[in-house]
Amino acid sequence: MASRRWPTTTRTARRAWPCACPKPAFRTAASISCAPRRSSRRTGRRRNSRRVIVIVGPTASGKTDLAAALAERLGGEVLCADSRQVYRALDAATAKPPAELRARVPHHLVDVADPAEAYDAGRFAREAAAALALIRGRGKVPIVCGGTGLYVRALIEGLTSLPPRDPAVRARLAALAEREGWNSLHARLALADPSAAASIPAANTQRVMRALEVLELTGRPISEHWAEGRSGGGKPSAVLRLDLPPHALRENIDRRTRAMWPALLAEVRALVPARFRGDEPGFTSLGYRSALTVTAGIMNPEQGLAEMLRATNAYAKRQRTWFRTQIDAIAVDASDGPESILQRALRALEDIREAATA
């Protein structure tokens, strides 16, 4: 069956996409589906070779448990997009998947760097591309799980060729949309970059703006950047964002931080100064600076714990804001037990599949 080009007018968009449907999942599905779909009559191995599921959310929201549960249910492997979990020997405060879980479900990009090494988004993008190819080569579904926004963006948008967002350009495009309507911006995109316009619904205003912004900043269509920046990777089939009320997230952080604090102090005392100085890149992770002030005698343990709680809650707040504003995703309520969260995630994935093939 020939692939379809996505519509570029409001009327035809409403026919092809369930944008007017009252179900939020269907509306959001239109914004993250990334390419025309071909016939679904294919082998499981081939279908898996095209699927990528991304799970994002703030620290202590349950990403690790959901990623592993989806991997077991769907036949997948987990790719961790976390700038702290890459470091060997730093285990107590990085919330790495436990060894028992990793023995059951393969996890990639955990314990791949020494704490003295600098690990950045560029290195992550290269190693993630290799991991994705390995997972797909085994006929498995890649499930990206991460709280490091730049790493997730590196997979979704590509890192090497896309310029950073330009507030002046975006303000100018937003003003143009205010005067002429967002459909006019999508029409401009269709003329300048038909390939991108075919894969970006007119209703997805942020992606339309980003495509025009990249065109203005680089003089090249964003579709060309996608082809270069995503070699070995690819656009995700679905992006799920774990969401829970702020008070519930604070409770999760408080409970987890208090539980890990004694082990963190013991770990830091064993590593510094016996193996490390304490100023290496890995020790900038949340909690380690607080623990180092205690082991150095600058704070007492109660003060160090309070400082770690303050820093972790502030970080989680920044994560929530970033993922809500910078990543197109379906929100999944994560305020109750793991099984309920898994069922909601599976329903969201099914909604996306149905919307993409409608």
Q: Mind listing the domains of the chain with CATH numbers?
A: 11-162+230-246+327-357 (3.40.50.300), 167-220 (1.10.20.140), 247-319 (1.10.287.890)
**Cα-only R_g, the chain:** 22
Secondary structure element (H or E) that encloses residue 210, with its range: helix 205-218
pLDDT at 328: 85
Phi, psi dihedrals of residue 80, rounded to the nearest 5°: -85, 120
pLDDT at 199: 80
Eight-class DSSP state of 81: E
pLDDT at 228: 67
Q: What angle do CA 248, 249, 255 make, to 5 degrees?
A: 90
Burial code of 70-107, b = ≥16 C-beta within 10 A, e = fewer?
bbeeeebbbbbbbbbbbbeebbbbbbbbeeebeeebbb
3-state helix, strand, coil in the chain (%, to 5): 55, 10, 35
3-class SS of residue 329: coil
Phi, psi dihedrals of residue 19, rounded to the nearest 5°: -70, -30
238 CB contacts (<8 Å, ≥6 apart)? 32, 53, 54, 330, 348, 349, 352
pLDDT at 251: 98
* pLDDT one digit per residue (tens) for the chain, 358 residues: 433 333 333 333 333 333 333 344 333 333 333 333 333 344 444 444 457 999 999 999 999 999 999 999 999 999 999 999 999 999 999 999 999 999 999 999 999 999 999 898 878 988 999 999 999 999 999 999 999 998 998 888 765 567 777 899 999 999 999 999 999 999 999 999 999 898 887 877 878 998 999 999 999 998 887 776 554 445 667 999 999 999 999 999 999 999 999 999 999 999 999 999 999 999 999 999 999 999 999 999 999 999 999 999 999 999 999 999 888 899 999 999 999 999 999 999 999 888 777 6
Nearest to 141 by CA among 71, 194, 85: 71
pLDDT at 234: 52
Burial code of 225-253, b = ≥16 C-beta within 10 A, e = fewer?
bbeebbeebbbbbbbbbbbbeeeebbebb
Q: Which residues pair with 166 in a beta bridge?
A: none
